[in-house]
Amino acid sequence: MTGAAAIPAIIELAGVEKTYRSPAGRGRGVGFPALRGVDLVIGAGEMVAVTGPSGSGKTTIINLIAGIDRPTAGTVTVAGRRLDQMTEDQLAAWRGRTIGIVFQFFQLLPTLTALENATLPLDLARLGPARDRRGVAGRQLAAVGLADRGDRLPLELSGGEQQRVAIARAMACEPPILLGDEPTGNLDTGLARDMFELFKGLNGSGTTVVYVTHDPALAAMASRVISVRDGLIVSETGARP
């Protein structure tokens, strides 16, 4: 980049390969190569969409960035930490403070209210005094338009409201990175666009947002779109600032 300093990388995958071993292949070296040598750099504050057909490796990239999966080869560095060198306990503590994840199927705990679901990451990370955590979670619910729904169980909420709770939960610890794995897959077009407006608002406040989507219109809302096929990055539109 000429004339200005490049935005520092917050996510970097270098030569990453990931092979999933199938039960039938145990002891015989047989497995499925989900990623086959991926190099990816994402700058702090970017909003990046990852697209591609089913089985292309999109979700594997998200899982590696979150430290849910480990690479078979190569290195994964996120927020200055080499995830492939961390223990499971270290990863769990790091993830709670660094990564927010929004899933396609919401994954809210059905017996907890919206407020209790949003408070859960704060309790697990033991962030701040216990008496203050519900207030923090309540502010996150208000930020996604659910200030008056905190006492409702997930089954009492619409699909769009459940996904808003999931976003509030993901952002409860104010992580610098928000990941989405087909986060609008269960929502209609209008609700999906509403969700991405929330993502854009978070990104405008400085959160790095990386999400997987099959929808070209939703992908176009990102500043950069990365296309994955057969475990490789095959194209990219937009440019890292």
- Residue given tokens 């969409």 in the structure block: 49
Helices (H), 144-234: 159-170, 189-204, 216-219
What pLDDT is attached to residue 2?
44
Question: What pTM does this model have?
Answer: 0.90
The residues facing 14 across adjacent strands are 75
Distance separating the N- and C-terminal Cα atoms of the chain = 8
The CATH classification of domain 9-237, taken from the options 3.90.226.10, 3.40.50.300, 3.40.50.1820, 2.30.40.10? 3.40.50.300
Lowest-pLDDT choice from 13-22, 84-93, 125-134, 195-204: 125-134
For residue 157, the model assigns a pLDDT of: 95
**3-class SS at 237?**
strand
Nearest-angstrom CA–CA distance, 169 and 188? 21
pLDDT tens track for 7-54? 899 999 999 999 998 765 555 556 889 999 999 999 999 999 999 999
8 CB contacts (<8 Å, ≥6 apart)? 43, 44
Residue type, 231: G
Count other C-beta atoms under 10 Å from residue 62's C-beta: 22
**What's the distance, CA 27 to chain centroid?**
33
**DSSP H or E run through 229:** strand 224-229
Tell me how far apart the alpha carbons of residues 172 and 165 are, in angstroms, rounded to a whole number: 10
Torsion sign, CA atoms 117, 122, 126, 132: negative
Instruction: Give the whole-angstrom CA distance, residue 50 versus residue 224.
Output: 9
Using CA atoms, how far apart are residues 184 and 37, in angstroms rounded to an integer?
A: 28
Q: Cα(41)–Cα(194) distance, rounded to whole angstroms?
A: 28
Measured CA to CA, the distance from residue 121 to residue 113 in angstroms comes to: 14
> Number of helices (H) and strands (E), helices first, in the chain?
7, 10
Domain limits, the chain: 9-237
> Is residue 1 pLDDT above 50, yes or no?
no
Per-residue pLDDT of 98-143, as tens digits, reads: 999 998 888 999 999 999 999 999 998 888 888 899 999 999 999 9
Beta strands in 69-171 (DSSP E): 73-78, 81-82, 99-103
